[in-house]
Chains A and B, each alone.
Chain A
Amino acid sequence: MPIFAAEVANTFEMNSWFFDNAWLIPALMAASFVVTLFFGKRLGAKAHVIGVGAVAASFVLALLTAYSWISQVEGYDGGAENAVVATELAAGDEFAAEDVTSHNVEGGGAATPAPVVTSVCWFDTGDAPNNNCDDRGAAKAVGIGTLIDGQSVMMLVVVTFISLLVHVFSTDYVSGDRRYTHYFAFLSLFTASMLFMVLASSTLQLIVGWELVGVCSFVLIGHWWEEKPNSDAAMKAFLTNRVGDIGLLIGVSILFVTAGNTFDIQTINNAALTGVISQNSLLVASLALMAAVMSKSGQFILHTWLPDAMAGPTPVSALIHAATMVVAGIYMIGRLYPVFWEGLSIAGSNLNAMALIGGITTVGGGLLAFVQRDIKKVLAYSTVSQLGYMVMALGVGAWTAAMFHLFTHAIFKACLFLGAGSVSHSVHSFDMKNDMGGLRKYMPKTFITFMIATGALIGLPPLAGFWSKDEILAGAGVWSGTGGNGTYYIPFIFGLITAGLTAAYMTRTIWLVFFGQYRGNGTPHESGPRITIPLSILAGLAVVVGFLNVPEELPLIGSRFGLKFQNWFEPGGGTVFPVIAHAKPSFSLAIVATGIGLISIFTVWTYYQRLYAKDSRATEVTGGIRDRSALARAGHTVLVEKYYLDHLYTGVIAGSTKGWLARSAYWVNQNIIDNVINYTGKGAAATGRFLYRYIDQGAIDGTVNGTGLTALSVGGILRRMQSGKVRQYATLMFGAATVLAAIFIIAV
């Protein structure tokens, strides 16, 4: 227990066997890794059973943990003396009709669940007192343990669930691969590391998990390392993340020292909120940690590795580069939210570094998604864009909205990636323009699930993305009547633009993949059940999970289901979490945002419909309006073209957005940002060569060798005196004796 927990009255104890033994969940996956690695070869094509079994067991454990958590939160009614009793009361129905509005009202004194920390001592160091391990008495030791609260419980479920589906999906997708066991072993290791990071009770564990997921990502991106582009992509991912990790190492160091030599997350959060850490240190620490977020969670300008990471197997992209690992940055911000909250002065402001980075990323990523031919790259840029959304949400103070978006995004983006995997499994390519088109007839199940997930991503009501995206927009606090923590105009506008962009590029993707005529070779076929069942589950969830956090004001269901996610998973404000204001949902804002999305869809839809009307195999305009020049036909043409409104929408607005704007953004991305990294690498190597050749081998080595050479040449001169001629020796001796005698006479 953190030392300050007892001092605060308005929390209530949570207890469950699952909270105390949550370490079993990552341990199970780690064991699965070891077993698969050493004994998987003997199982041959059945090597996946260990991993699938372990991840299924982890998922069950995670669910039970979440269930215990939720039921205790729901069961608590402020007056209950014993939470266990409350658990039993509420155990029957997960959605028990409790008076949920009675707690967690901002500013109110209502009780909130206390996080459960279980830890043991890890190692001793005289410089780290108060590290939250009590099994070694007064020794100054650093602890290792698990921190169970709403956030980690939510994440446990997401990670184990997506991982389970990806495991199942992979048994079909990578079957027959030459490194089948190796693939599953590292999938297990990744899951273990991610869960370890999620459960971390100290920043030190956070670093360990953070880097371990990074190395798993490295190994899995480079899974087919025989081809150089794959190993290049893997290296790029690892190195870019290392650059961000500088920030992580420095940020954690600053927090360690300023919070009183501790790694304990709860203590650090408490210290940040109570002013133990100065505003200045918090600002530097949060900016340093932002660098880590930028690399891990693909924020501009460190996002470039993420699209390249698509070189790995598709299920890996779904698990690691869409649903779980890349949200590690968002998770970390959420974990240390008081640090950012105070450091960046989120409350009552109208712009800060985090919101700005998130905003730029979300628009920049969305624009780039337009010019891709590769379906996985579209999804990758979409992930970048959505991650930007989450960071932006955290930047404007909408913690719950960000976490909720993380939750829904994990589900629908995993569905999209797995859908893309299903498509490519069938057409053996990722190229949308050359090898896809018209697939809705051949792959109906994939088509439907992909459509649902796309709808969720675009934010069409009532799919999952609608609710989470809307909360973020409301959270910016700009729209009248929403409240929020500040007035973040710029992020709000970025958010709206992205809503339109997302709708547009996803419509384009849908058209290119599923509509028109099939442009590839052979006949595509629907994938097997081990691929379609995970897709169906995810698509089904993409429909319903949004209802977990509907506004309480919503008619019919609001009073019964409203704000469940917030009540269950948001930590209580005060000691280890800032008191944040929750924005009020706005009906008009929802209509505007959805409207923007619908207009984008309509515009792009019309564009492609016209295109395909001319040529069902076409993928872009050839010889369009730019050929028409004669003034005489101009009026006629204007009429025919309906005052060029269509062209304005499709050609100029959509076209330029799709065209030069996106292309130049992509150009900047590929040529400037990328090249800076490349040239930095080359420059470093050149400097290294220079230093090595001239300074190291020249100057420093030269000095050393020079000393030796001097001794040698002096020796060479003296050597000549050693002639071996007795008379010469005698001459010298007499000469010397004479000189000595002379000195003797003069001196004495």
Chain B
Amino acid sequence: MTDFLNNNGISLMVFLPLVGVALMMAIPEKQEELHKLIALVTSLATAAVGAALLVKFNYDNSSALQFAIDKSWIDVVNARYSVALDGISLPLVALTLLITPLVIIYSWDHIPEPGNAKAFLILMLVLHTGMLGTFVAQDLVLFFVFFEVVLLPMYFMIGVWGGPDRLYAAIKFFLFTLFGSALMLVSFLALYWVTGSQTFDMQRLAELVANTEISSRTQWLIFGGMFMGFGIKVPMFPFHTWLPDAHTQAPTQGSVILAAVLLKLGTYGFVRIAIPILPEAAVDWAPIIGGLAVIGIIYGALGCLAQTDMKRLIAFSSVAHMGYVMLGIATLTTFGIQAAIFGMVAHGLITGMLFFVAGSVKERYHTLEIKRLGGMLTQAPKLGWILAFTSMASLGLPGLAGFWGEFPVILASYSPAPGLSDGLFRFYMVVAALGTVLAAAYLLWLLQRTAFGTPSEEFADDPNITDVNTFEWIAWAPILALILILGFLPGLLFDVMNDPVSAMADAVAALGK
């Protein structure tokens, strides 16, 4: 059993969803219940395999790549099928394994217009494979393939099951991301050639770059290409405009997955690829990344204050929250990057949860216009309290998960890695701290206008407005519990990623001294 897991575990986990897809292809569209069941069972089986890996994972040696599989794949370019898990990818894999089954459960009675559960769930499972694959890939080409595999199902999910403006949003999402990944690919190829070794293996590339004389200008440019690819996916400040549209138009499930996992592909790319391979360029780029991150924090928050639509507000808040993640990464310190990874997971849970709530509000009130809502705590008290709880988590209340992605980032900015300007990052620190006030402002304002007060006349006696139902509870309870548990036991994540992140930060620090 252990041998089997060691040799095939990750492949099994990544490709199991595709088995479900194959099965579902063979079954006619009419049997919706069967499709839902297969999708759920597949995602649960995937989660079970993942859970087995998580149990077998050697937590004392979390910086080592475990369960590694390395097989030849495209020999012409020396691209290999190389996957593994370590302390950095583990939290994100776990997040993905958790979110997808929950989204499928939520879909049980929430298949968005125009229906067709079969296609919807097949796309979801393909997406699942793509996301898992991206987080475990150890080869740049493999990473790129999985990174792009994610794109299409999401495009269709927005374009087919989305809101009134879905085509515009879907195309915007697709073009933006594709543009970024094109530049990213150029960077990957550049690495392949300039190192002279013609390999795409991430670890070997890191060693090679360290030992080869590559002009810092070249490194800077290569990092720049990756920055475009990952930064758009994050999204960072000037490239963020696809996000609100995509989120607003996407169906609830799409929004949840987009917020919970897809945005993390970008930040994960920075931590997994850009910084370890090009630490020198990372130091050069850090002030720019940090600057854009804090602009994003303030800008996203101000954008939130201007919104009249609940879902769009939540979407804008992602810009601000991912700003904290990017600022944490830009500090290039252990604590900062740890907080960034924690922030990714926390944001995934919290914002995912907020989108779930927004979806359920939309379903009950048929609108998300903030000024028409109100008094949710009276009409649907549990839904209202869940919204309040999640908003509190989102604004970074200590004791809930959001805090650990926020305060340590601020702290780390006070003394960034050697080689970075203390003064500049302290300025960023103050701006980021100011962002916490704005975050509280827009979230509480949202809460006050939607949950507090008395219900408006329009909805006062609407029988449609019911409290949280069973499927929603099943889908939400694990997320709510995790937000709380991670808030009190941050060590669950911090401890796992401490060693690999320390190693990375030490490598950067050694350069700066």
Direct contact of A and B (CB under 8 A): yes
Q: Is A256 an interface residue (CB 8 A)?
A: yes
* CB-contacts of A682-709 with B (<8 A): 684-685, 687-689, 691-693, 696, 700-701, 704, 708
Chain B 290-332 interface mask (CB, 8 Å, partner A; 1/0)? 0000000001011111110000000000000000000000000
* CB-contacts of A366-405 with B (<8 A): none
For B335, list chain A residues within 8 Å (CB).
125-128
Q: Is B433 an interface residue (CB 8 A)?
A: yes
Q: Which residue of B lies closest to A226 (CB)?
A: B454
The residue in A243, A250, A252 that gathers the most chain B C-beta atoms within 10 A of its C-beta is A250
Cβ contact within 8 Å between B175 and A708: yes
- Residue among A226, A239, A684 making CB contact with B305, cutoff 8 Å: A684
A213 to B51, CA, bound (A): 37
A124 to B438, CA, bound (A): 30
B411: min CB distance to chain A, Å: 4
Q: Is A651 an interface residue (CB 8 A)?
A: no
Cβ contact within 8 Å between A235 and B238: no
Question: A-side binding surface: helix, strand, loop or mixed?
Answer: helix
User: Which of the 9-residue segments A48-56, A204-212, A737-745 touches chain B?
Assistant: A204-212
User: Which of the 9-residue segments B66-74, B77-85, B208-216, B489-497 touches chain A?
Assistant: B489-497
A693 to B306, CA, bound (A): 9
Cβ contact within 8 Å between A207 and B436: no
* CB-contacts of A636-676 with B (<8 A): none
Q: Is B241 an interface residue (CB 8 A)?
A: yes
Cβ contact within 8 Å between B452 and A239: no
Q: Is A161 an interface residue (CB 8 A)?
A: no
B336: min CB distance to chain A, Å: 8
Chain A 223-258 interface mask (CB, 8 Å, partner B; 1/0)? 001101001100100110011011001101110110
Q: Is A215 an interface residue (CB 8 A)?
A: yes
- Residue among A124, A228, A242, A257 making CB contact with B440, cutoff 8 Å: A242
User: Which of the 9-residue segments B19-27, B99-107, B441-449, B472-480 touches chain A?
Assistant: B441-449
* CB-contacts of B430-475 with A (<8 A): 430, 433-434, 436-438, 440-441, 444-445, 448, 451-454
Q: Is B287 an interface residue (CB 8 A)?
A: no
B166: min CB distance to chain A, Å: 16
For B440, list chain A residues within 8 Å (CB).
238-239, 242
Known contacts A226-B454, A687-B302, A688-B305; decide if A121 and B437 are in contact (CB<8 Å). Answer: no
For B489, list chain A residues within 8 Å (CB).
123
Q: Is A419 an interface residue (CB 8 A)?
A: no
Known contacts A228-B453, A691-B303; decide if A207 and B398 are in contact (CB<8 Å). Answer: yes
Q: Is B172 an interface residue (CB 8 A)?
A: yes
Q: Is A635 an interface residue (CB 8 A)?
A: no
A691 to B430, CA, bound (A): 21
Cβ contact within 8 Å between B436 and A242: yes
Q: Is A122 an interface residue (CB 8 A)?
A: yes
Cβ contact within 8 Å between A684 and B452: no
A688 to B490, CA, bound (A): 34
For A141, list chain B residues within 8 Å (CB).
491
Q: Is A343 an interface residue (CB 8 A)?
A: no
Q: Which residue of A lies closest to B334 (CB)?
A: A126
B400: min CB distance to chain A, Å: 10
Q: Is B228 an interface residue (CB 8 A)?
A: no
Cβ contact within 8 Å between A225 and B305: no
User: Which of the 9-residue segments B189-197, B360-368, B498-506 touches chain A?
Assistant: B498-506
Q: Which residue of A lies closest to B404 (CB)?
A: A123
Chain B 135-146 interface mask (CB, 8 Å, partner A; 1/0)? 000000000000
B374: min CB distance to chain A, Å: 10
Q: Is B419 an interface residue (CB 8 A)?
A: no
B341: min CB distance to chain A, Å: 11
Known contacts A212-B398, A249-B433; decide if A235 and B448 are in contact (CB<8 Å). Answer: yes
A128 to B339, CA, bound (A): 13
A154 to B399, CA, bound (A): 25
Known contacts A125-B338, A242-B440, A704-B241; decide if A225 and B302 are in contact (CB<8 Å). Answer: no
Q: Is B90 an interface residue (CB 8 A)?
A: no
Q: Is A421 an interface residue (CB 8 A)?
A: no
- Residue among A122, A231, A243, A256 making CB contact with B452, cutoff 8 Å: A231
Cβ contact within 8 Å between B411 and A123: no
Question: B-side binding surface: helix, strand, loop or mixed?
Answer: helix
- Residue among B302, B378, B414 making CB contact with A688, cutoff 8 Å: B302
A612 to B496, CA, bound (A): 74
Q: Is B147 an interface residue (CB 8 A)?
A: no
Q: Is A681 an interface residue (CB 8 A)?
A: yes
Known contacts A231-B452, A691-B299; decide if A246 and B414 are in contact (CB<8 Å). Answer: no
Cβ contact within 8 Å between A222 and B410: no
The range of chain B's interface size is 35 or more
Q: Is B377 an interface residue (CB 8 A)?
A: yes
Q: Is B392 an interface residue (CB 8 A)?
A: yes
- Residue among A207, A246, A684 making CB contact with B441, cutoff 8 Å: A684
Q: Is B58 an interface residue (CB 8 A)?
A: no
Cβ contact within 8 Å between A688 and B306: yes
For A704, list chain B residues within 8 Å (CB).
172, 176, 241
For B334, list chain A residues within 8 Å (CB).
125-127
* CB-contacts of A106-156 with B (<8 A): 121-128, 140-141
For A239, list chain B residues within 8 Å (CB).
437, 440-441, 444
Cβ contact within 8 Å between B175 and A123: no
A250 to B441, CA, bound (A): 19
A207 to B410, CA, bound (A): 13
- Residue among A124, A211, A246, A688 making CB contact with B495, cutoff 8 Å: A124
Q: Is B415 an interface residue (CB 8 A)?
A: yes
Chain B 236-252 interface mask (CB, 8 Å, partner A; 1/0)? 00100100000000000
Chain A 441-479 interface mask (CB, 8 Å, partner B; 1/0)? 000000000000000000000000000000000000000
A253 to B165, CA, bound (A): 45
A122 to B488, CA, bound (A): 9
A493 to B222, CA, bound (A): 66
Known contacts A123-B491, A123-B495, A207-B407; decide if A691 and B448 are in contact (CB<8 Å). Answer: no
A731: min CB distance to chain B, Å: 36
Cβ contact within 8 Å between B494 and A125: yes
A140 to B491, CA, bound (A): 12
Cβ contact within 8 Å between A249 and B410: yes
The residue in A127, A226, A231 that gathers the most chain B C-beta atoms within 10 A of its C-beta is A127
A513 to B502, CA, bound (A): 65
Known contacts A123-B495, A696-B303; decide if A257 and B399 are in contact (CB<8 Å). Answer: no
- Residue among B307, B410, B438 making CB contact with A253, cutoff 8 Å: B410
For B304, list chain A residues within 8 Å (CB).
688
For B273, list chain A residues within 8 Å (CB).
none
Q: Which residue of A lies closest to B451 (CB)?
A: A225
- Residue among A124, A689, A700 making CB contact with B306, cutoff 8 Å: A689
Q: Is B429 an interface residue (CB 8 A)?
A: yes
A701 to B301, CA, bound (A): 18
A283: min CB distance to chain B, Å: 15
For B410, list chain A residues within 8 Å (CB).
249-250, 253
Q: Is B412 an interface residue (CB 8 A)?
A: yes
The residue in A121, A124, A701 that gathers the most chain B C-beta atoms within 10 A of its C-beta is A124
A693 to B415, CA, bound (A): 36
- Residue among A124, A210, A246, A684 making CB contact with B302, cutoff 8 Å: A684
18 contacts between A and B (CB under 8 A): A128-B335, A141-B491, A209-B398, A212-B397, A225-B452, A226-B454, A235-B448, A239-B440, A242-B436, A249-B436, A250-B414, A253-B410, A253-B411, A256-B414, A257-B414, A685-B306, A692-B306, A693-B306
**A-B contacts besides A125-B408, A226-B378, A253-B429, 18 pairs, CB < 8 Å:** A207-B407, A208-B399, A225-B377, A226-B452, A231-B453, A239-B437, A239-B441, A245-B437, A246-B436, A250-B410, A257-B414, A684-B302, A685-B306, A688-B306, A692-B307, A700-B238, A701-B241, A704-B176
Q: Report A's interface with B, CB cutoff 8 A.
A: 121-128, 140-141, 207-212, 215, 222, 225-226, 228, 231-232, 235, 238-239, 242-243, 245-246, 249-250, 252-254, 256-257, 681, 684-685, 687-689, 691-693, 696, 700-701, 704, 708
Name the 6 nearest CB pairs between A and B, nearest first. Answer: A126-B502, A123-B491, A688-B302, A123-B494, A208-B398, A126-B334
